Amino acid sequence: MATTEIEEKSEDARDDAEDRPKGPARGLVREYFESGAVVLVMAMFFMTFVAQAAEVPSASMENTVYVGDRFLINKFVFGPGPHLPFLPQRDIRRGDIVVFKYPAESVPVENIVQYKTLFIKRVIGLPGETIEIKGRDILIDGKLLPEYRVESPDCNMGNDKAELKRLTAERPKADEPYTVYYRSHTACSEIPPGADAVNGVRRPYRIPEGHYFMMGDNRENSRDSRYWGPVSRDLIVGRAMFVIWSSDLSAPQEPGVSGFVSGFFKNTRWKRIGTFLR
């Protein structure tokens, strides 16, 4: 008896559903629009809070980061506020390669805009530390900072589009966590920083609280905190993660669409894709 009643109720429900007026079917355009809107919102959220892509325009970080490298920025790892133990967040450390907004005055000639143009450098000094730069030696609170130094025979390191040559050197020591590059040619070695490089160069410099001292790995071709001072914490966007695409911008470019296509395949540095930046 109970089974019969259930079947009758099910049939009544189906009849009611059939009697209701049906709305217009969603068109294909509307479906694409809704899907696109969802993707757009997710992409905006991802780029605002999680990650962002950026490209390297100068040689100040070579050979760690090449001119033409397009890399992903982790904007979440240095998130403000307390770091919860179950989230992949942490404080900024010495040696981190970070992306930040240019802190000094705008440079119209080079299209660098204060608080807007993104720069990439390595964190050398932390808040409250005293840094002093003596030639190639960097002293932090009076102690020598261990860095793995590689010398380049190429004197053309000042060319922002020219790559450093492939360099060979001994293996770094255990306490040398990252690599920096200097000129070794007698005609261009031991060139002192420019007259405007004043922070930590001629005397010890104490890094203000909430600020970080940045330097490029291509030490003699880098405008950094030695010139325009430390970077405030609120200007730091995130940590550079890995290369998602790389192109040799110094290679000759052929005209036309066919030249663009052929140049894309010839000038892409395929081995750089997926390289983690350390």
Just list the catalytic residues: 60, 121
Cα distance between residue 125 and residue 272, in whole Å: 28
Distance CA 66, CA 59 (A): 7
Give the whole-angstrom CA distance, residue 183 versus residue 167. Answer: 11
DSSP for 10-24 reads: HHHHHHHHHHSPPPP
Among candidates 269, 248, 264, which has minimal Cα distance to 67? Answer: 248
Two tokens, residue 34: 């809704």
Tokens describing residue 222: 């880098």
- Rounded Cα–Cα distance for residues 226 and 212 (Å): 12
CB 241 within 8 A of CB 98: no
Residue 142: count other Cβ atoms within 10 Å of its Cβ: 8
Cα separation of 173 and 260, whole Å? 43
CA distance linking residue 261 with residue 267, whole number of Å: 10
3-state secondary structure of 122: strand
